[in-house]
Structure 1
Amino acid sequence: MTATVFNPAAEPVAIPASELLPWVIFGSLLLLLALYFVGAEQGATSLISGMYVHEFMHDGRHLLGFPCH
């Protein structure tokens, strides 16, 4: 004889918004910081003096379509 084993289907667990919100805020801040350094860290809006950040992010600017020349 064979025995039949009942395996109930796994049900998804809901994640409360109160637990998800801090991660969304953290990710958004990281995204905005990266967008600033890739897109605006040069010229009049520069927070860091010199061209070090501009040169470090130069290829990323061109890859994402930001003009820099």
Structure 2
Amino acid sequence: MEWSSSGRTPLLVCGGLAAIALTLYAVLFDNGALLVPLLGEAAKTQNYLHELFHDGRHVLGVPCH
């Protein structure tokens, strides 16, 4: 695979991989930590992200309880 001379391609690849990693973390492991800056500690106690991705976890075969 050839990298562009401008150096933009490696930046896009790294950015894409970071976005994929963040998405996987949110779907598979997060229990509200990503929403704490927006919602405060209620994000952890209410488990908004856990409930949002709960069924998706089961579809992917990831145990969450």
- Structure 2 residue identity aligned to 1:61: R
The alignment's TM-score, normalised by the length of structure 2, stands at 0.67
In the alignment, structure 1 residue 16 sits paired with structure 2 residue 4: yes
Larger-Rg structure: 1
Q: What is the Cα deviation at residue 15 of structure 1?
A: 5.3
Cα shift readout 1:23-67 (whole Å, capped 9, x = no counterpart): 11111111011110111113xxx5141311100011111121110
In the alignment, structure 1 residue 67 sits paired with structure 2 residue 46: no
Once the two structures are aligned, what percentage of the paired residues are identical? 36
In 2, the alpha carbon distance for the partners of 1:56 and 1:25 equals 27
SS in 2 for 1:57: helix
How many residues in Structure 1 have an aligned counterpart in Structure 2? 53
- Structure 2 residue identity aligned to 1:36: Y
SS in 2 for 1:66: coil
The alignment's TM-score, normalised by the length of structure 1, stands at 0.63
In 2, the alpha carbon distance for the partners of 1:63 and 1:27 equals 24
Runs of 4+ more than 6 Å apart: none
- Structure 1 residue identity aligned to 2:49: V
Cα RMSD (Å): 1.9
Structure with the larger RCO, 1 or 2 (CA within 8 Å, 6+ apart)? 2
In the alignment, structure 1 residue 30 sits paired with structure 2 residue 11: no
In 2, the alpha carbon distance for the partners of 1:65 and 1:58 equals 11
